[in-house]
Each structure stands twice: as C-alpha cells, then as structure tokens.
C-alpha cells in the first residue's frame, strides 16, 4: 500500500509535466500553423500580384508589338520621304547655286527699297500733316457752305419777294443810243409780270438789264432779267459801268423777270453796285 501511495504521489507531478508538455506542444503547433497560414496567404498574395503583373506585362507587350508595327510602317514612310527629300535637296542645291548669283543684286535692291521706304515714311508723315490741314480746311469750308446755303436761301427768298411784288421800281436806267453815250435821269417803273428791259448799250441789240441787289458777303447779285428775256441757267453776263467792264456773273437761278447770279472770280467784286448795266453774253 505504501508503494502504491508513493507511486500515486510520483504520478501526479508526471501528469503535470505531461500536461504542460502537451499544452506547450499544442501552443507550438498552433503557432506553427498560424505562421504557415500567414506564409501561405503571403505567398497567395504574391502569386496574385505576380499574375496581375504578368497580365499587365502581357498587355504592355501587346501594345509594344502594335507600336513596333506602327513604327516600322512609319519608318518605311520616312525612308520614302527621306529619298524624296534627298532628291529635293539636290534640286535645292541647284537652285541655291542659281540664287547665290543674284544675292548681291538682291542686297542692292533691298538697300534701294529701304531708302525708298524711309523716303515714303517721310512723305507719309507730310501727307498725314497735309491731310490734317485739309480736314481742318474741309470743316471750315463746310461751315462756309452752310452759311452760303443760308445766305443763298435768304437771297432766293428776296428774289421771290421781288418777283411777287405788284411793281418793281428800278433805279435810274441808262438809256443810250450807242456805246459811250448815255441819257441819265430816266426812271422806270414796270409791273412784275411784264418784261422789264433796258435799251441795249451796243448796236447789235444784245439783251441787257441792271443789277438790282448785291450781296458782297457771298458774291451774289440779282439782275432784272429772266426767262422772258431769253436767259437760261448757266449763262454768263457781263457787268459794265461807263463803258468799263467790271466783271462777269454766272446765272444760277432764273425766274420770269429776275435772275440770281454768282460773281465770277476774275471780276472787280468791290466795284459792282446796284444800277450797273448787265449784258447777256
């Protein structure tokens, strides 16, 4: 019995040792299995990445093959273009030799054109300055034309007023039998609708009349002759006093018994006054 008790007491530590060993072996086995699992998963991931890289490399290889085919086609085209450019280069060399002979002439032409350009620029500046002056003059002329139109309208209104009057009283009319002799002191009053005439100052019965209005600001006159005396627009008349020709006028408005005329530049404008003799040319 004592031996069995001693054996039992020795068995308990052995069982504890065996249990500890079993637990240690189990833990080691679990740890080993966990490490192997992680290693296997890592290998699987590496395999997956390797497969993906393989597919990507295959795709790139296909793209490279396509690019290579296109490059070969482009290379063939470039070779053809190179051959063509080589021929063109030969032709260009010939043209260059021809052009090199005229370089000096072209340089001279460039020098001449440069000089002409500088001269043209100077002339352009002068023309620009002249243009500015002309524009200023144009503005002044426009204003003068406006004033002239206003004065012309006033003059035409006055002519119409003289035409519509029941009678037109003229200043003294010089009645002469021949040129150079006159009989002063004859006053004439005639109806507006009637033909107002003066006796010709020459023996060839030239139509003549008198100046009845003078506008010195715009160089206009009104004469007491019109359509009834055979005058027409554009016709010229001569202004005479004491056998001295004072100038000429050009008819611009012609009515039955009156006409408006512009004094021509070569006339003695300041000497012309009402009552001067007017001869139709």
- The DSSP line for 19-44 is HHHHHHHHHHHHHHHHHHHHHHHHHH
The 10s digit of each residue's pLDDT in 15-66 is 777 788 888 888 888 888 888 888 888 888 888 888 888 888 889 899 998 8
Are 182 and 169 contacting, i.e. CB atoms less than 8 angstroms apart? no
Round to whole Å and give the CA distance between 208 and 195: 12
Compare 153 and 269 and report the one with higher pLDDT: 269
* Average pLDDT value for residue range 224-242: 94
Please say if the pLDDT value at position 276 is more than 80: yes
pLDDT at 238: 95
Please say if the pLDDT value at position 3 is more than 80: no
Please say if the pLDDT value at position 256 is more than 70: yes
pLDDT averaged over every residue in the chain: 78
- The DSSP line for 81-150 is HHHHHHHHHHHHHHHHHHHHHTHHHHHHHHHHHHHHHHHHHHHHHHHHHHHHHHHHHHHHHHHHHHHHHH
Number of H helices, E strands in the chain: 2, 8
pLDDT at 217: 84
The reported pTM is: 0.35
Domain 149-280 has CATH 2.40.10.410: yes
pLDDT at 242: 92
The 10s digit of each residue's pLDDT in 126-167 is 888 888 888 888 888 878 777 777 766 776 676 666 655 543
Buried b vs exposed e over 222-240: b needs ≥16 C-beta within 10 Å?
bbbbbebbebeeebebbbb
The 10s digit of each residue's pLDDT in 175-220 is 333 333 333 333 333 333 333 333 333 333 468 899 999 998 888 8
Per domain, the residue ranges of the chain are: 25-101, 149-280
Q: What are the tokens at 212?
A: 């009845």
pLDDT at 229: 92
């Amino acid at each position: 019995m004592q031996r069995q008790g001693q054996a039992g007491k020795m068995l308990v530590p052995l069982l504890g040792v065996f249990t500890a060993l079993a637990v240690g072996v189990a833990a080691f086995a679990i740890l080993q299995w966990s490490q192997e699992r992680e290693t296997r998963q890592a290998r699987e991931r590496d395999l997956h990445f390797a497969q993906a890289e393989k597919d990507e490399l295959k795709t790139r290889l296909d793209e490279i093959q396509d690019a290579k085919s296109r490059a070969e086609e482009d290379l063939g085209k470039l070779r053809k273009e190179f051959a063509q450019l080589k021929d063109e280069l030969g032709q260009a060399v010939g043209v260059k030799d021809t052009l090199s002979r005229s370089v000096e002439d072209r340089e001279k032409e460039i020098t001449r054109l440069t000089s002409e350009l500088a001269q043209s620029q100077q002339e352009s500046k002068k023309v620009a300055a002249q243009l500015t002056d002309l524009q200023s003059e144009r503005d002044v002329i426009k204003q003068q034309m406006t004033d002239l139109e206003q004065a012309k309208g006033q003059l035409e209104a006055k002519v119409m007023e003289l035409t519509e009057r029941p009678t037109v009283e003229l200043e003294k009319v010089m009645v002469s039998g021949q040129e150079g002799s006159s009989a002063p002191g004859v006053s004439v009053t005639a109806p507006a609708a009637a033909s107002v005439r003066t006796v010709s100052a020459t023996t060839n019965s030239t139509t003549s009349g008198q100046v009845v209005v003078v506008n010195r600001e715009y160089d206009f006159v009104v004469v007491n002759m019109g359509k009834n005396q055979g005058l027409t627009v554009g016709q010229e008349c001569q202004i005479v006093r004491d056998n001295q020709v004072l100038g000429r006028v050009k008819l611009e408005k012609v009515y039955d018994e009156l006409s408006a005329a512009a004094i021509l530049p070569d006339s003695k404008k300041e000497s012309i006054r009402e009552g001067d003799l007017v001869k139709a040319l």
